[in-house]
Amino acid sequence: MGRYSVKLSKLIREFNLESIYLPKKSEDILIYASEVNRPGLHISGFYKCFQPSRIQIIGIMETAYLNDMSSQLRMERLMILCKKRIPAIVVTTNNKIFDEMIEAAKHYDIPLLRTNETTSSFMSSLIVFLNSELGPRKGIHGVFVEVYGEGVLMTGESGVGKSETAVELIKRGHRLIADDEVEIRRISDNILMGSAPKNIKHFMELRGIGIVNVRRLFGVCSIKNKEKVNMIIELKSWSPNQDYDRTGLKNQFADILNVRIPKYTIPIKPGRNLAIIIEAAAINNRQKKMGYNAAEDLFSKLGFEDVE
C-alpha cells in the first residue's frame, strides 16, 4: 500500500490558518503523518521517542513555558526542535509568536502557522482530518448511498440494478455519495469512510439513458460528499438453488481494510421493490447497533432459549 500525503495548502484552507512563515508555496509542502504532537517535553530537552514526521502543536502551556525562558535559551530550544525537520509548527489560541520561533523556522525552512482555535478543539479536528486524508484506502465497484443516516454500500455484478435502485432511493429522500466507483478510507481502527473520486462525483450511469448529474437533476439535498460505511448489501439475481437467510440470526460480515462491516445478500426478482427493502435493512441494521435484534426477540417469544 502506497504512502499517502496531503498538501499543506489544503490544511490551511480547511482550518483557516494564518501563515506566519512559509519556506515555499504551501501547495508544494506535503504532510505524511496522521498523528500530531505537543512538544512541551521535547522543548525541555527530552527527545527520546520523538517523531519528527508529526505536526507540532504549540498551545498555551508550551507558550507559557517558552515565555519563562531567557531569549538565548528559547532560541536554543526552538533551534533544536526545528533542526529535527518537522513538517510544520502550529500555534493555537492565537498565542504569541516569539521572534526566536520565527528565526528558527526560517533557519530550517519550517512552516509556521497560527490558529484562533483552542488547542484541544484544533487537535481533535486536525486528527480527524489527517486520518481521513492519509488513512489506508481502496476503490470498490458499487454504489454508495445514505439511507436514514446509514451508509449503505451496494455491490453486485454490473447491470444488476444498483444505480436504478439508488435513483429510487434518491426519489424517496435519501442521498447519493458515489456511483460505480467508491473510494473507501479507513479513518480509525473500526471506521471506514466512503466517498466518490473527484472526477465522477455526483454523476451516475443509467443504462438506456446515459450519464446524469444527480446534483443538477434532483438538487443539492440529493447528494452527500462522504459517509461512514455502516453496511454492505450485495444484490444477486434470484436463484432457486441458492439458500438465502430468512431469519437474520446469523450475522454475516465483509472485511474491508481489516474492518468488519455487516453484510446482507438480497436476491433480485421481478416484483420486488428493492428501495423499500434497503430502507428496511438500513433501519434494522441501526436497531441492531442499538442492541435490538428482531429475530432474537421473536425466537425468544416462541420459547427458543438458544437462538444461535
Same domain, 124 and 143: no
Same domain, 105 and 152: no
The Cα–Cα gap between 12 and 26 comes to: 8
Measured CA distances, 50 to 32, 43, 59, 124, 133 (Å): 16, 11, 18, 20, 23
Same domain, 48 and 100: yes
Same domain, 115 and 154: no
Nearest-CA neighbor of 182 among 165, 164, 210, 201? Answer: 201
Nearest-CA neighbor of 179 among 153, 209, 160, 157? Answer: 153
The Cα–Cα gap between 274 and 270 comes to: 10
Residues 6+ apart with CB under 8 A from 307: 249, 295, 296, 299, 300
**Domain assignment of residue 112, given as a range:** 6-133
The Cα–Cα gap between 294 and 298 comes to: 6
Active site residues: 141, 162, 180, 246
54 three-class SS: coil
**Per the domain annotation, does 308 fall within a domain?**
no
Q: What is the total count of domains within the chain?
A: 2
For cell 484562533, the residue is 116
Q: What are the pLDDT tens digits along the chain (308 aa)? A: 457 899 999 999 999 999 999 999 999 999 999 999 999 999 999 999 899 999 999 999 999 999 999 999 999 999 999 999 999 999 999 999 999 999 999 999 999 999 999 999 999 999 999 998 998 999 999 999 999 999 999 999 888 889 999 999 999 999 999 999 999 999 888 999 999 999 999 999 988 899 999 999 999 999 999 999 999 999 988 877 777 777 777 788 999 999 999 999 998 877 778 999 999 999 999 998 898 888 888 888 887 765 55
Nearest-CA neighbor of 166 among 225, 157, 237, 155? Answer: 155
Same domain, 294 and 149: yes
pLDDT of amino acid 297: 83
C-alpha cell at 216: 443538477
**Per the domain annotation, does 190 fall within a domain?**
yes
For cell 530550517, the residue is 108
C-alpha cell at 88: 510544520
C-alpha cell at 163: 444505480
The Cα–Cα gap between 114 and 97 comes to: 9
pLDDT of amino acid 129: 93
Same domain, 96 and 162: no
Q: Could you tell me the strand order of the sheet in which 175-188 lies?
A: 226-228, 191-195, 175-188, 137-147, 150-155, 231-237, 259-268, 253-256
Same domain, 63 and 74: yes
Same domain, 124 and 141: no
Four-CA torsion 281, 286, 290, 295, nearest 10 degrees = 0
Same domain, 149 and 60: no
Same domain, 150 and 291: yes
C-alpha cell at 160: 444488476
For cell 460505480, the residue is 180
Q: What is the CATH number of the domain that holds 169?
A: 3.40.50.300
Strand 112-114 to strand 89-91: parallel, antiparallel, or no bridges (unpaired)? parallel
Query: Which pTM value belongs to this model?
Result: 0.80
**Per the domain annotation, does 153 fall within a domain?**
yes
Same domain, 255 and 189: yes
**Per the domain annotation, does 306 fall within a domain?**
no
C-alpha cell at 21: 512563515
Strand 191-195 to strand 253-256: parallel, antiparallel, or no bridges (unpaired)? unpaired
Nearest-CA neighbor of 113 among 135, 141, 94, 131? Answer: 94
- Cβ atoms within 10 A of the Cβ of 269, count? 10
Side chain identity at residue 217, one-letter code: L
Say if residues 139 and 181 touch (Cβ distance below 8 Å).
yes
Same domain, 26 and 50: yes
13 three-class SS: helix
